[in-house]
Copies of this chain bind each other. A is one copy, B any other.
Amino acid sequence: MSVPFDVLAEPARRRILDLLLERPRSVGELTERLALTQPGTSKHLRVLREAGLVTVRREAQRRWYELRPEPLAEIDAWLAPYRRLWAASLDALEAHLDSQADEMTEQEDVT
């Protein structure tokens, strides 16, 4: 579970990261937005913490969880050699759509 891939397999954890992308948040706040129980949220946060994807700052009883994106680089690195492949097919799609657009401007009356 300590690998970023496993951590991100859980939708709730991806949502947490998405929420932290905007700004640091408290457990209560996250719990509310996730529609989970508080212990459930805490459990996911623990996993994220142990994977190094978040850090905690204590303030009285409140704990502010904060994003730490570095471990995501591992995923990005794995993804890298594949990126050019689907990029190529997307380019092909774009080219296709572009040529269609061209045809349409040439005809000028395709409803």
Q: Within the complex, what minimum Cβ distance (angstroms) separates A9 from chain B?
A: 4
Among listed A32-40, A56-64, A74-82, A100-108, interface-contacting one: A74-82
By the criterion CB–CB under 8 Å, are B79 and A76 in contact? Answer: yes
0 or 1 for each of A31-73: is its CB under 8 Å from B? (1 = yes): 0000000000000000000000000000000000001011011
Q: Give the secondary structure class of A's interface.
A: helix
- Shortest CB distance A83–B (Å): 6
CA distance A78 to B67 in the complex (A): 15
A selection of 14 A-B contacts at a CB cut-off of 8 Å is A5-B5, A5-B8, A5-B9, A6-B9, A9-B9, A21-B82, A67-B82, A69-B82, A69-B86, A72-B79, A73-B90, A75-B79, A76-B83, A79-B79
